[in-house]
Amino acid sequence: MGKIILTGDRPTGRLHIGHYVGSLRRRVELQNSGLFDRIFVMIADAQALTDNADNPEKVRQNIIEVALDYMSAGLDPAKTTIFIQSQISELTELTFFYNNLVTVQRLQRNPTVKAEIQMRGFSDSDDNRAGTPVGFFCYPISQAADITAFKATTVPVGEDQEPMIEQTREIVRKFNSVYGPTLVEPEILLPDNAACLRLPGTDGKAKMSKSLGNCIYLSDSAEEVWAKVKSMYTDPGHLQVSDPGKVEGNTVFTYLDAFCKPEHFDKFADSFVGRKSSFEFHSLDEVKDQYRAGGLGDMMIKTFLNAVLNDTLEPIRTRRHELEKDIPYVYEVLRKGSEVAREVAAQTLADVKRSMKINYFDKGVLDELIKEQTEKYSK
């Protein structure tokens, strides 16, 4: 059996560099590795609506943003099927059957759902409790449908999605044990670099998020990136250039851990040449050691980080500007991708119904059924 990838994002905003190092960069590598038979990347608009029911326009606008981000980051429609979740109605049908295999209590224990309910003020203990939309509460089940519909073996996602994949695996095991082997149990593929697991915001807060205004977007201009890098959180105890600085918890270094490549030390050596002092570095460890020892200013490491970031972001920006000139093409990719995805999901839904024996009118099945019931009533 082949190796199949399914993954995706909610279209609630443009994608930022946290998405890039957390999953997008890896997807592009996997796409180009030749190790996978099929790759599906989904724009999860239906999941985005589970907590944006009153703002469908936001979701609608961001579908194209995410598609542009995907393709400019290197997802290639010739190798990867990019599609829109809501266009695959088979997914909702699968969800409906999986709903019966999951308990309310199990959903309540899902740590990501728990945290998200708190964050959104849906919780009962909240003063201005909005209540939790049922669709939102159940989205891990719909996510299991997304993954299993494509018989995905591999789901490359960020760390926060781990509970979703675990729940999917449970649903698969339950389904297969009740109805016979039908669904494929997927594996999660996490980023291999610790800094990439969850990139903090530019303000040093745990997560990059649009609502906190601490994101660097893939589509930001070079000027916007530099303004954000300049204002980044470093080590609050590093007041004078000569002071020893802390590297741990210093966001500039976390970003360097995620983005810096060996060739950058040569390429951007002039970042470390200043009026008062200059350094020559050959590895990130050397930069860190000097920062810890003191004498290396925040402006230098920010200048270096800016160059490192732009080395990745500039080609993405250029491709985005090209794609923005051909919006009909982008929608055509999504339309075709959704058509292909729908065929695959329909096949799985047929398998599921056959296993559950609710395929009453399939070829041969109806004849069997009539025979069985006729016999029963002729006794």
First to last CA, the chain: 46
Residue 12 makes contact with ligand TRP by CB under 6 A: no
Residue 95 makes contact with ligand TRP by CB under 6 A: no
Q: Which of 69, 146, 235, 298 touches ligand TRP by CB under 6 A?
A: 146
Residue closer to ligand TRP, measured from CB, 146 or 235: 146
Residue closer to ligand TRP, measured from CB, 20 or 291: 20
The one segment of 8-16, 67-75, 265-273, 348-356 that binds ligand TRP by CB under 6 A: 8-16
Which residues, 6+ apart, have CB-to-CB distance to 83 below 8 Å?
A: 40, 41, 42, 43, 334, 337, 338, 340, 341, 342
Residue 65 makes contact with ligand TRP by CB under 6 A: no
Q: What are the Cα distances from residue 108, in Å, to 103, 125, 166?
A: 9, 14, 14
Please state, as a whole number, how many other Cβ atoms lie within 10 Å of the Cβ of residue 355: 18
Residue 145's identity, in one-letter code, is A
Alpha carbon distance 204, 201 (integer Å) = 5
Residue 201 makes contact with ligand TRP by CB under 6 A: no
Q: Which of 75, 50, 35 is nearest to 320 (CA)?
A: 75
Residue 9 makes contact with ligand TRP by CB under 6 A: yes
Residue closer to ligand TRP, measured from CB, 340 or 365: 340
Residue 10 makes contact with ligand TRP by CB under 6 A: yes
Alpha carbon distance 273, 278 (integer Å) = 4
Residue 141 makes contact with ligand TRP by CB under 6 A: no
Alpha carbon distance 77, 334 (integer Å) = 9
The one segment of 2-10, 237-245, 283-291, 368-376 that binds ligand TRP by CB under 6 A: 2-10
Q: What are the Cα distances from residue 72, in Å, to 24, 68, 75, 230, 316?
A: 11, 6, 7, 25, 5
Mask: binding to ligand TRP, 170-199, rule CB under 6 A, as x and -? ------------------------------
Please state, as a whole number, how many other Cβ atoms lie within 10 Å of the Cβ of residue 93: 17
Residue 51 makes contact with ligand TRP by CB under 6 A: no
Q: Which of 8, 13, 22, 297 touches ligand TRP by CB under 6 A?
A: 8
Please state, as a whole number, how many other Cβ atoms lie within 10 Å of the Cβ of residue 15: 25
Instruction: Tell me how many residues contact ligand TRP (CB under 6 A).
Output: 13
Residue 143 makes contact with ligand TRP by CB under 6 A: yes
- CB 157, min distance to ligand TRP, A: 5
Residue 44 makes contact with ligand TRP by CB under 6 A: yes
SS3 of the chain: helix, strand, coil, percent, to 5: 60, 5, 35
- CB 318, min distance to ligand TRP, A: 26
The one segment of 55-63, 96-104, 122-130, 155-163 that binds ligand TRP by CB under 6 A: 155-163
Please state, as a whole number, how many other Cβ atoms lie within 10 Å of the Cβ of residue 150: 27
Q: Residue numbers of the site for ligand TRP (CB under 6 A)? A: 6-10, 44, 47, 143, 146-147, 155, 157, 161
